[in-house]
Amino acid sequence: MIDPTHDAYFINRNGILYSIEEVRQRLIQGKSIALNPESNWNRRFSMEKGDFLYNYLAKNLYRFVCLLNSEFNAETKGKGKTITYIRLSPPDFYYQKPDKFETKDVKSGTNYINYRTNNSLAFWQAP
């Protein structure tokens, strides 16, 4: 996982980058994580791990939305087109049900299908 705005990344003891999934899981489990010492915000000032990780990044790792099918024009709207997303939410997120919900953009005629899950293993699995 790399954050280019902050020149930030997280590595394990062997210097190997953590994935987004691994950073999120370590936060959830309260495990330590190392932020590279050169991290900074837009080259203006350095970032301390606590500020960056807990005050900025944690909110961005709380919930994820991903296209079910990643392909050309996947999110281009169109009459009769269906776009499907899967959402990874933590168990304490206020919207848990329904597991599947559908909406329609009346203006474009696009149908949206959304699936919700708390199962991070299912969400992060390879297509």
Tens digits of residue pLDDT in 81-115? 999 999 998 877 777 777 899 999 999 999 999 99
**Which H or E element spans position 50?**
helix 49-50
Nearest to 78 by CA among 55, 49, 107, 110: 110
Of 16-25, 35-44, 78-87, the least confident: 35-44
Q: pLDDT class for 49, splitting at 50, 70, 90?
A: low
Of 80, 70, 72, 76, give the one whose Cα is nearest residue 110: 80
User: Over 80: is that where the pLDDT of 43 sits?
Assistant: no
Please count the helices (runs of H) and the strands (runs of E) in the chain. Answer: 4, 9
Q: Is the pTM of this model over 0.75?
A: no
Cβ–Cβ < 8 Å for 8, 61: no
Under 8 Å between Cβ of 97 and 109: no
Would strands 34-35 and 110-117 be described as parallel, antiparallel, or unpaired? unpaired
In 1-127, DSSP assigns E strands to 2-3, 8-11, 34-35, 40-41, 45-46, 64-67, 82-88, 100-105, 110-117
